[in-house]
Amino acid sequence: MLTVKDLVKYFPVTGGVFKRKVADVHAVDGVSFSVGRGETLGLVGESGCGKSTLGRTIAALYDATSGSVRFDGTDLTYFSEKEMKPYRRRIQMIFQDPFESLNSRHSVGEIIEEPLVIHGIGDGPARRKRVGELLSTVGLPQTAANRFPHEFSGGQRQRIGIARAIASSPELLICDEPVSALDVSIQSQIINLLLDLQEEMGLTTLFIAHDLAVVRLISDHVAVMYLGKIVEQTDADTIYKTPLHPYTQALISAIPVPDPGAVSNRIILEGDVPSPIHPPSGCRFHTRCSHVMEICRATEPEFADQGDGHMVACHLYEGKS
């Protein structure tokens, strides 16, 4: 359903009095993966790793620098806005901050109706009926239609954002940290709502998060991203049971253990995420990796299959597949 190949997105950094380009931010730097119809890929990494940029480039909110995005067999990468329009109906996004992404001067009814208007779906009465159905689908009362986003809690606002995103009956839903700003108890309600919708609508989902614990609840496959690149990808069970990449191992060890008496095996990552303007040579994780070897500083590891489609980019495993 979705195939991303060698996708690159750089942002220019300008400087000096003439605002000339002086460097590039390597936000997404050669990413490839695919998601089957009805499946969910969880995309995980620390903030600044490029995962939001990747989501927005796939949704054609940003132009790709190079590489390709194929959706349902069609290469959308370099489509004009006009060519893209029928696909916008089929690909929708949910954002981290539902408050920022909802127009505060519009009523909730108008917000949810907007994609129906844009895509010419139904006449006035049919659209308002649809808004009513969407409100109940996401668990909000009908009276919500006449109220405004600021009158709702964070979790309710995310429900409004979801109602708007599913209004045009999309096939691909890109969720950019949809629960990161919410309390833990509300997070699970929103995740459950998304799981129900996936089942009812057969949605294909790209679920972006910085938290592996959240992704676990919803994903069939998980991809781990570090500084613009995917460093490991496999099915959701395997990534939690046998993570291979030292970065994934550190992320997994950071998931809180429910038993307070259990010994914590938390791996503390030293240092900050390096700048994506001048990413480290060789393996981009080498400045923070406790297994770093000489080769890691000089040579970029290949993203290779270690068996059963468990992909990893790390010199520790080279020649072992």
Site string for Mg ion, 33-62 (x = CB under 5 A): -------------------x----------
Give the whole-angstrom CA distance, residue 136 versus residue 129: 11
In 3D space, the residue among 233, 202, 232, 206 whose CA is nearest the CA of residue 219 turns out to be 206
**In angstroms, what is the minimal distance from the CB of 239 to ligand SF4?**
15
In 3D space, the residue among 40, 67, 39 whose CA is nearest the CA of residue 53 turns out to be 67
**Size, binding site for ligand SF4 by CB under 6 A:** 14
Side-chain half-sphere of 137: how many Cα atoms within 13 Å?
Answer: 24
**In angstroms, what is the minimal distance from the CB of 289 to Mg ion?**
23
**In angstroms, what is the minimal distance from the CB of 321 to Mg ion?**
32
Applying CB under 6 A, does 250 fall inside the site for ligand SF4?
no
Residue 66 CB coordination number (10 Å) = 12
Helix or strand holding residue 165 (H, E): helix 154-166
Residue 258 CB coordination number (10 Å) = 6
Give the whole-angstrom CA distance, residue 282 versus residue 162: 40
**In angstroms, what is the minimal distance from the CB of 242 to ligand SF4?**
16
Give the whole-angstrom CA distance, residue 227 versus residue 275: 8
Among 286, 302, 304, 311, which residue interacts with ligand SF4 (rule: CB under 6 A)? 286
Applying CB under 5 A, does 156 fall inside the site for Mg ion?
no
Say which entry of Mg ion, ligand SF4, none residue 246 contacts (CB below 5 to 8 A, set by partner kind): ligand SF4
Applying CB under 6 A, does 301 fall inside the site for ligand SF4?
yes
Helix, coil or strand: residue 72: coil
Applying CB under 6 A, does 310 fall inside the site for ligand SF4?
no
Span of 96-104, 143-151, 213-221, 289-297 interacting with ligand SF4 by CB under 6 A: 289-297
**In angstroms, what is the minimal distance from the CB of 317 to ligand SF4?**
8
Tokens at 123, concatenated: 């006449």
Are the C-beta atoms of residues 292 and 279 closer than 8 Å to each other? Answer: no
Applying CB under 6 A, does 315 fall inside the site for ligand SF4?
yes
Helix or strand holding residue 67 (H, E): strand 66-71
**In angstroms, what is the minimal distance from the CB of 234 to ligand SF4?**
16
Give the whole-angstrom CA distance, residue 11 versus residue 313: 25
Are the C-beta atoms of residues 103 and 111 closer than 8 Å to each other? Answer: yes
Applying CB under 6 A, does 293 fall inside the site for ligand SF4?
yes
Closer residue to ligand SF4, CB minimum distance, 216 or 315: 315
Applying CB under 6 A, does 246 fall inside the site for ligand SF4?
yes
**In angstroms, what is the minimal distance from the CB of 94 to Mg ion?**
13
Among 291, 298, 302, 305, which residue interacts with ligand SF4 (rule: CB under 6 A)? 291
Applying CB under 6 A, does 296 fall inside the site for ligand SF4?
yes
Give the whole-angstrom CA distance, residue 254 versus residue 268: 8
Going by C-beta distance under 8 Å and a sequence separation of 6 or more, which residues neighbour residue 250? 267, 268, 269
Closer residue to ligand SF4, CB minimum distance, 153 or 290: 290
Applying CB under 5 A, does 234 fall inside the site for Mg ion?
no
Give the whole-angstrom CA distance, residue 107 versus residue 148: 5
Span of 127-135, 186-194, 249-257, 279-287 interacting with ligand SF4 by CB under 6 A: 279-287
Site residues for ligand SF4 per CB under 6 A = 245-246, 283, 285-286, 289, 291-293, 296, 301, 314-316
Site residues for Mg ion per CB under 5 A = 52
